[in-house]
Structure 1
Amino acid sequence: MEPQHLRDLHDLQLRREARSDGPGCRVEHVDGVVRHTGPAHAWNGVLWSGLDARDADRAIAAQIEHYRAAGLSFEWKLYAHDTPADLGDRLRAAGFTAEEPETLMAAEAAALPREVPLPEGVELREVTDEAGVRQVVEVHERAFGTDSSDLGRRLLDRLATDPDAVTAVVALAAGEPVSAARLELYPGTDFAGLWGGGTVEGWRGRGLYRALVAHRARVAAARGHRYVQVDAADTSRPILHRLGFLTLTTTTPYVYEV
C-alpha cells in the first residue's frame, strides 16, 4: 500500500463520489463542492471541494446560504491537501470555527489482528435494537462528555432503513456498557469506516479499543471491503499505527453555527 494511492482512492470514492448516509439525506455536486444535507440530527456539511483562489470565497458564501436557508449548522471537512492552500483561513474569515485536527489513517482490513483478548468478564455485542443504541449513546456521553443524542437517532435511522450499511458494537462488563464503536460500510467502494471508538474512564488501557478495531475490521473484510479508514484523534493514532495503519493526511472540521 502506498499512502498517496490510498489518499487519492479515498478522495475519489468517499469524497467526490460520496453517497447519502440516511433517510431524508442527499448528496449534491454544486459550486465546486460535494455537500451532504439531511435532517438536523444528520451529519450536514461539505465533504469535498475542488476550488482555487478565484472561486473559493464565492463557493464558501454559497454553502453558508444553502445551510442557513435550511436552518442547519454544518461542517466543512477540510483536508490538508485541499486547495487553495489558504482555504482554512478563508473559512475562518467567513465565520467558521476550526475544531481539533484528526489524522486520516487506513489499513488493509484482512491484515489487521482478527482477535484481541478481552479482559475477564467482558463481552462484545453487536447492536441490533433500540436498547443497544442506548448503550452506545451512554458510552459516548461518558467517554467524550458530549451530548450524543443525535448519534443515537442516526443509528436508529440506519438500523431501520439500511441495517447492512452499519455495524455498531458495544463492550459489556457484567452487563454494563464500557466501550463502543461503529463500522460504516460504503457499498461499491474499497473502504469501510471506523467511527466513534470510545471507552469510559476506568476501562481504558485494557485492550478494548484494539478489540473493537479487530472486530470491525473482520466484519469489513467479510463484507468485501479491502480497506478500513479512520479519522484518528491524537489518543488513537499511536494505537492504530502499532496495528499497521498508515497515515494518509490530516483533516480538520470547520464548523458553522446558524
Structure 2
Amino acid sequence: MPDAAALLQAYDDQLRTEAETPSALAVTRLGPLRLATFAGGRGFITYRDLGGADADEIRRLVAAGRAHFEADPEITRVEWKTRGHDRAPGLAEALAAYAFVPEEPESIMIGEAALLAVDVPLPAGVTLRRVSAEADVRAMTAMQDVAFGDSLADEMAEAMLRRLARDDGMEL
C-alpha cells in the first residue's frame, strides 16, 4: 500500500481541476486558479496548486476570484475549494476577509477499487441500478435533496443530464 504522501499525490493528479468541473458551463483561468461557472448561478474556484504563492499573492488571487464572480449577475453563490494538505499560507484569512464562509470539512476515502467491486446484499425492497433517463435523474437528485437537506435538485439534474448527453463516462 502506498504511503499517505503518494495517495495524496494520486488524489491531486486525478481528482483536481478538470476532473472537478466536467459539467461547468464555462471555465476561466486566472493564474493557477480555475473559475468555473455552473448552472443555477453557482461559481466554483479550484486549483491544482498555488505555485508557491505567498500570503500576499494568495490574498490577491482571492480578491480577483471574488471580483470575477461578482461581475456576473447570474452568480448567486461561490465556493472556493480548499484542501487541508495544500501549502497555502494565509488562505483561510484571505477567504474570510472576502466573505467566503467555511463549510463543514469533507473527507476523501482512498483505496483499491478492486476491493470495492463485490456483490453486496441489499435490504428487502431496495434495488440498485444505473440510471440515465431524465425522470430517473430528477428523482435521484430530489432524493439527494431530502437526504442532505439541500434544495439543489433542479440544477444538479440539469448538470447531470448535460454530462450524460456528452457521454463522458459518468455513470449514475
TM-score greater than 0.5 by the shorter chain: yes
| Equivalent pair of 2:137/2:160 in contact (CA under 8 Å) | yes
Distance change in 2, residues 1:139/1:16 (3 Å): closer
- 2:13 corresponding residue in structure 1: 12
**In the TM superposition, what are the counterparts of 1:187-202 in structure 2 within 5 Å?**
none
Shift of 1:42: 7.4
Match for 1:145 among 137, 140, 149? 149
TM-score where L is the length of structure 2: 0.83
User: Following the alignment from structure 1 to structure 2, what is the Cα–Cα distance between the partners of residues 149 and 52?
Assistant: 39
Give the Cα–Cα distance (whole angstroms) in 2 for the partners of residues 122 and 62 of structure 1.
Answer: 48
Identity of aligned residues (%): 34
Matched, 1:70 2:75: no
Aligned pairs for 1:39-54 within 5 A = 39-41=38-40, 44-48=43-47, 49-50=49-50, 51-54=53-56
Q: Is the 8 A contact 1:23 1:157 kept in 2?
A: no
Which structure 1 residue ranges, 4+ long, deviate > 6 Å from structure 2?
none
Higher strand share: 1
Deviations 1:183-239 (A, max 9, x none): xxxxxxxxxxxxxxxxxxxxxxxxxxxxxxxxxxxxxxxxxxxxxxxxxxxxxxxxx
Q: Is 2:57 the partner of 1:55?
A: yes
So what's the TM-score if we normalise by structure 1? 0.58
Contact 1:38 1:44 (8 Å CA) reproduced:
yes
| C-alpha spacing 1:131/1:17, structure 2 compared with 1 (3 Å) | closer
Instruction: Give structure 2 stretches of 5+ with no counterpart.
Output: none
Distance 2:112 2:88 in 1: 31
Written as runs of structure 1 = structure 2, the 5 A alignment for 1:1-150 is 1-15=2-16, 18=19, 20-22=21-23, 24-26=25-27, 28-33=28-33, 35-41=34-40, 44-48=43-47, 49-50=49-50, 51-71=53-73, 72=75, 73-147=77-151, 148-150=153-155
CA RMSD of aligned residues (A): 2.2
Distance change (3 Å), C-alpha of 1:123 and 1:159: same
- In the TM superposition, residue 113 of structure 1 has moved relative to its aligned partner by 4.7
**Higher mean displacement: 61-70 or 13-22:** 13-22
Q: Label 1:62 to 1:145 Cα distance change in 2 as closer, same or farther (>3 A).
A: same
Is residue 69–residue 78 contact of structure 2 (8 Å, CA) maintained in 1? yes
Q: Distance in 1 between matches of 2:10 and 2:115?
A: 19
